[in-house]
Amino acid sequence: MIKKSLHAIAWRAERLLDRIKGQRDPRRIIEPYIGYANPDHLVVRGRVLTSLRRNAPTPMQSRWVNFKQMFSLFLTDEVANVTVQSGMVKAISDEEGYFTLLLPRDQPCGWINIPVQIEGQAGQTQCPVLVPDNAARFGVISDIDDTVLKTGAYSLIRNLWNSLTGNALTRRIFPDAVTCLQSLSEGGRNPVYYVSSSPWNLHHFLNRIFDLSGLVKGPKFLRDLGLSQTQFVTGTHGDHKGGAIDVLMAANPQLGYVLMGDTGQHDAMVYRDAVLRHPGRVLAVVLRKPGPGPDAQSRAAMDEIRGAGVPVFSAVDFAGVASSIDAIANTPQADGSKGIRP
């Protein structure tokens, strides 16, 4: 009862602040997110805000300055009920400012910039979209925290400390993740997607870290941590990741996938469930072992994945993973094809 009452108060307070600040502020700016393609559409994504917060950190600045800059990324004033358009296609931003435009998929493969504008407002924002190569052999779906980005997410206190007191110049991408994903991508032939419980407020921040490290660029499926009318935080960790995997399975029905994660945040259970929901679609599961390593529940889930006929690679780093997966992808199947196919 107390939790429900607190949630109701918080939700009404947020709605009131949105009306006072975001809706009355005349400024309207599009924050672009990286979009993707499904069999019928280019899925163009972004968010309507009153302003964009962009920090310019230096490597030697204090943790207190880092904290203030990171905290400012969450002070967004999102704007609902704004019409955005690309050509003749229109969409309306939701209560948290998010929008999705579905454009006909008649463009070539590769990276495409889609011009999007706010109706009645001059100027356009380029929203990037990845259309997989027709020659792609498989896709990769990777977690972020403790999979490619050193975070310590297996410990809440360590996670918060690293996330809020570092900056884009000090956060560390695992070098073996860069090498592994570059090899798996095969120069962009195979699409790479990132699924994480990190909030959308960190989209630009993560893009900058990825660019500085040379990590393969790809669409991100992050999480809205805003209040909804029914719950404090929209969705759960497992529901969010599982739902994003389902979306990507449907987006590329001709491809099998490599699922990459770690053993610190229940990725093994999420990926086990995905293997069972999508038989024949998962080429391999790759799990980094951060901190104390897998618990009993994760080990049991890994055994279930192997029992379903899907190889599991689990170690403290990704050394040798790419070559092993390449061998699996080249293994002839009974129908004469190679690798796992739907």
Rounded CA-CA distance 93/296 in Å is 43
Asked if 234 and 225 touch (Cβ cutoff 8 Å), the reply is yes
* Mean pLDDT over each residue of the chain, to the nearest integer: 86
Strand ordering across the sheet containing 312-315: 220-223, 192-199, 139-142, 257-262, 282-288, 312-315
Percent share of the chain, pLDDT over 70: 85
Would strands 98-104 and 41-49 be described as parallel, antiparallel, or unpaired?
antiparallel
Would you say 110 and 133 are in contact if contact means Cβ atoms under 8 Å apart? yes
Q: What is the CA radius of gyration of the chain?
A: 21
> Tens of pLDDT along 164-176?
777 777 889 999 9
Identify the band that residue 10 occupies on the pLDDT scale cut at 50, 70 and 90: very low
The residue-averaged pLDDT of 122-131 equals 96
Tokens of 64: 């207190």
Amino acid at 266: H
| Angstrom distance (rounded) from CA 155 to CA 21 | 35
342 neighbors 280 (Cβ within 8 angstroms):
yes
Q: What does the DSSP assignment read for 37-88?
A: E-SSEEEEEEEEES--------TT--HHHHHHHHHHTT---B--S-EEEETT
User: In the β-sheet with 41-49, what is the strand arrangement from edge to edge?
Assistant: 89-92, 83-86, 110-118, 125-131, 29-37, 41-49, 98-104
- Which candidate, 43, 45, 46, places its Cα nearest to that of 31? 46
**CA 100 to CA 44: how far, in whole Å?**
6
The residue type of 33 is Y
H helix count then E strand count, the chain = 9, 13
Q: What angle do CA 194, 199, 205 make, to 5 degrees?
A: 75
Average pLDDT of span 253-276: 94
Q: Sorting pLDDT into bands at 50, 70 and 90, what band is 330? A: confident
| pTM for this model (two decimals) | 0.86
Instruction: Kindly state the average pLDDT of the residues 71-99.
Output: 92
- 300 pLDDT above the threshold of 70: yes
Gap between the Cα atoms of 271 and 287, Å rounded: 10
As given in the structure block, the two tokens for residue 270 are 């999420």
Q: By mean pLDDT, which of 34-38, 81-85, 118-122 is the weakest?
A: 118-122
Please name the residue that has the structure tokens 């901190």. Answer: 291
212-252 pLDDT tens trace? 999 999 999 999 876 445 444 455 555 899 999 999 999 99
99 has which bridge partners? 46
* Rounded Cα distance, 104 and 233, in Å: 33
